[in-house]
């Protein structure tokens, strides 16, 4: 009998081959591995880099979410607020009604302003001539005197009774007061202000002959003005090197900026030519973004100054129209205005690079808006800027009256805390505290308290002396660390201090003003050109062979800023010391020597570059024109009793004013002897 067959060998696996036309590959290269095994096989450096990148992306995502949440909150708030408001500008149709309703209607006759056609919603365009759509001027803005303008057939007739029509503008003449006398703004005294009839337009009287220095100022101005007139007439700024122009807003910034200067210098022909352009060509129906601060101090301020000096209601009508178009900038959750606003569509927004506004910009528009309310009787202008002032007053984050440089428009809180300066982005905040107090008749003690506290904060934290000459200067403080850096912009301070002393503040302020004025003069004198650079650094410790003032290569340029010359004017008028007049004359000669060319050109004088890229703003033709003129006149404190100057030397008057029309035959209250054309 046969033995049974042996059992089959034991197999520990089962092999199944599925063939789909491809050969089987049993190599390890294709096998899947878990993510953890892959992670463990990475080097430590690779893992650290991946973790860092992941953490960075999470952080960026959180920041984006926070900013997006703030944006939607602000948008919802603005929608809710604007739905409660009526259109602000007569005839304006917003680009996107569901999100941005029409601005609030002004408390004025709709016939005073041209109709603004509806525009399609589009992205914000870049500033410059190719993107500006300039429409022809409206028929109701044609040239003519004040009396002729009221008689034109194309101007709608006001249906209101004669008594109501006479309250269109508040007269600012016919009253003589002392500086200490209280003069509250008219919109505070009554719910419905009483507005006297328009004063008749003034003309310049027969002027006396200018002295040598005044004639020098006129010559410098006329040289700059001729270059602008030939190559950039009606445009924002002159490019002297290329003999062309540049546009910022497309609103004739230089021309409007120079109106008050031409009046003060007695340039009747040039003033009338510029006025004709304002009447026929200046209109605001443009889809263009304007910077709230720059357009307020230059356009609104320039128009108000021209009205104060000439009495021509054309400038006031233009100012009110423009003021209405700036109001959408104040529609924010915090009432801190946006930096930019489209004057055609009423759309306002923060800068492209941040959601913050600059403290100096939001607190240096008050003089102009308050004055516009006083002259028109429309309270909304004053109320908007005073909400900003009150908000800033109660904010935390200050240091003995000193304020940071930035503030968020959504939260209303200071940002970039711990950085304090009297230079760029904060300078004119302190200047306007004092000037608002003067403008309001010295009744708003809160403004004075903030100003005095800030000056004491400057003494405590920012004031130092240089070596070897012991020059007093104002530095900067960043998170507890002092920097011996001083902007030329800080040279507004000696003039502001002197103005405060003239109006009754402590004599110690005058001592500080004199010391700082000496420093600002040395910032010019110690340069090879006699002109101050944009920024200087002071030496705090004595070192052989080193001067008090040092300049870094990037700061070796001069932008024709007016702060030093304006302060010299105040010091000369308050003290009567002729050295300030002489210093101003030296600076003017340096300007003329190093910036003078047939087209207001450019000269290089190493190691300082004097760049004359434009005429307006801080340039010769506007802000720097009238202070040298006044420095050339006999000392007299009278103008400081009724005149307040804006942050770029534009004149502002406070109510009620001295009737200065009778003085124009011989003694211009702003410039000493009047100057002929």
CA distance 405 to 231: 37
Amino acid 145: pLDDT: 40
CA distance 628 to 491: 16
Amino acid 445: pLDDT: 96
Q: Find, among 264, 261, 259, 260, the residue nearest to 274 by Cα.
A: 259
Coil, strand or helix at 643 = strand
Amino acid 66: pLDDT: 75
What is the H or E stretch that residue 652 is in? Answer: strand 651-653
Asked whether the beta carbons of 301 and 646 are under 8 A apart, the reply is yes
Q: What is the CATH number of domain 207-673?
A: 1.50.10.10
CA distance 134 to 326: 19
Residues with pLDDT less than 70, the chain? 1, 9-33, 67-208, 597-639, 641-642, 647-677
Amino acid 203: pLDDT: 57
CA distance 622 to 301: 12
- Could you write out the DSSP letters of every residue in 335-363? SPPPSEEETTT--EE--TT-SEEEHHHHT
pLDDT digits (tens, 9 = 90+) for 276-290: 999 999 999 999 999
Which residues are CB-neighbours of 149 under 8 A, at least 6 positions away? 155, 313, 314
pLDDT digits (tens, 9 = 90+) for 575-596: 999 999 999 999 999 988 888 7
CA distance 164 to 459: 52
Domains of the chain, by residue range, sit at: 45-85, 207-673
CA distance 367 to 385: 9
CA atoms within 13 Å, Cβ hemisphere of 667: 10
Q: Which residues are catalytic?
A: 294, 427, 534, 563
Structure tokens at 437: 């107090």
């Amino acid at each position: 009998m046969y033995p049974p067959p042996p059992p089959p060998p034991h197999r520990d696996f089962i092999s199944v081959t599925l063939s789909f036309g491809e050969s089987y590959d049993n190599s390890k290269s294709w096998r899947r591995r878990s993510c953890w095994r892959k992670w463990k096989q990475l080097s430590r450096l690779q893992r650290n880099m991946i973790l860092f990148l992941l953490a960075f992306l999470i952080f960026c995502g959180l920041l984006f979410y926070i900013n997006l949440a703030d944006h939607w909150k602000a948008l919802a708030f603005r929608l809710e607020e604007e739905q409660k408001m009526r259109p602000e500008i007569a005839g304006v149709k917003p680009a996107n009604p569901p999100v941005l309703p029409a601005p609030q209607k002004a408390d004025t006759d709709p016939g005073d302003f041209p109709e603004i056609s509806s525009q399609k919603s589009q992205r914000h365009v870049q500033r410059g001539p190719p993107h500006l759509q300039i429409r022809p001027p409206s028929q109701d803005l044609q040239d003519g005197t004040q009396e002729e303008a009221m008689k034109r057939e194309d101007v709608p007739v006001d249906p209101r009774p004669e008594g109501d029509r006479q309250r269109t503008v508040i007269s600012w003449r016919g009253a003589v007061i002392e500086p200490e006398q209280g003069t509250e703004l008219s919109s505070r005294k009554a719910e419905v202000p009483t507005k006297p009839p328009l004063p008749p337009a003034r003309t310049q009287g027969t002027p006396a002959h200018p002295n040598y220095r005044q004639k020098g100022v006129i010559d410098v101005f006329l040289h700059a003005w001729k270059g602008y007139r030939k190559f950039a007439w009606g445009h924002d700024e002159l490019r002297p090197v290329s003999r062309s122009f540049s546009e910022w807003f497309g609103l004739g910034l230089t021309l409007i900026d120079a109106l008050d200067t031409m009046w003060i210098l007695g340039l009747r022909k040039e003033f009338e030519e510029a006025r004709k352009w304002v009447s026929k060509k200046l209109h605001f129906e443009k889809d263009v973004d304007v910077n709230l601060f720059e357009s307020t101090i230059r356009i609104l301020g320039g128009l108000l100054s021209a009205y104060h000096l000439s009495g021509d209601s054309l400038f006031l009508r233009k100012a009110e129209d423009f003021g209405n178009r700036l109001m959408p900038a104040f529609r924010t959750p915090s009432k801190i205005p946006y930096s930019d606003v489209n004057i055609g569509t009423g759309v306002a927004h923060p800068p492209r690079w941040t959601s913050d506004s600059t403290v100096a910009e939001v607190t240096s528009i008050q003089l102009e808006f308050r004055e516009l309310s006083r002259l028109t009787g429309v309270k909304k202008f004053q109320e908007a800027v005073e909400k900003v002032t009150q908000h800033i007053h109660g904010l935390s984050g200050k240091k003995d009256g000193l304020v940071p440089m930035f503030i968020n428009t959504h939260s209303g809180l200071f940002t970039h805390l711990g950085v304090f300066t009297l230079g760029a982005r904060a300078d004119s905040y302190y200047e306007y505290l004092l000037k608002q107090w003067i403008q309001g008749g010295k009744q708003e003690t809160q403004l004075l308290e903030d100003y005095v506290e800030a000056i004491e904060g400057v003494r405590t934290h920012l004031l130092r002396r240089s070596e070897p000459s012991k020059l007093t200067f104002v530095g900067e403080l960043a998170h507890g660390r002092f920097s011996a850096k001083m902007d030329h912009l800080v040279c507004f301070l000696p003039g502001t201090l002197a103005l405060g002393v003239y109006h009754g503040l402590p004599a110690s302020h005058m001592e500080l003003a004199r010391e700082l004025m000496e420093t600002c003069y040395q910032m010019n004198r110690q340069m090879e050109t006699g002109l101050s650079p944009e920024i200087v650094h002071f030496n705090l410790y004595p070192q052989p062979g080193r001067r008090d003032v040092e300049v870094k290569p990037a700061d070796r340029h001069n932008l024709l800023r007016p702060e030093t010359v304006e302060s010299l004017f105040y010091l000369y008028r308050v003290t009567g010391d002729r050295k300030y007049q002489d210093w101003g004359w030296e600076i003017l000669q340096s300007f003329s020597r190093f910036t003078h060319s047939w087209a207001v050109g450019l000269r290089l004088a190493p190691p300082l570059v004097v760049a004359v890229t434009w005429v307006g703003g801080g340039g010769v033709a506007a802000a720097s024109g009238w202070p040298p003129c006044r420095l050339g006149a006999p000392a007299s404190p009278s103008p400081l009793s009724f005149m307040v100057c804006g942050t770029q030397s534009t004149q502002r008057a406070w109510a009620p004013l001295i009737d200065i029309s009778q003085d124009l035959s011989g003694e211009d209250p702003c410039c000493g002897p009047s100057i002929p054309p």
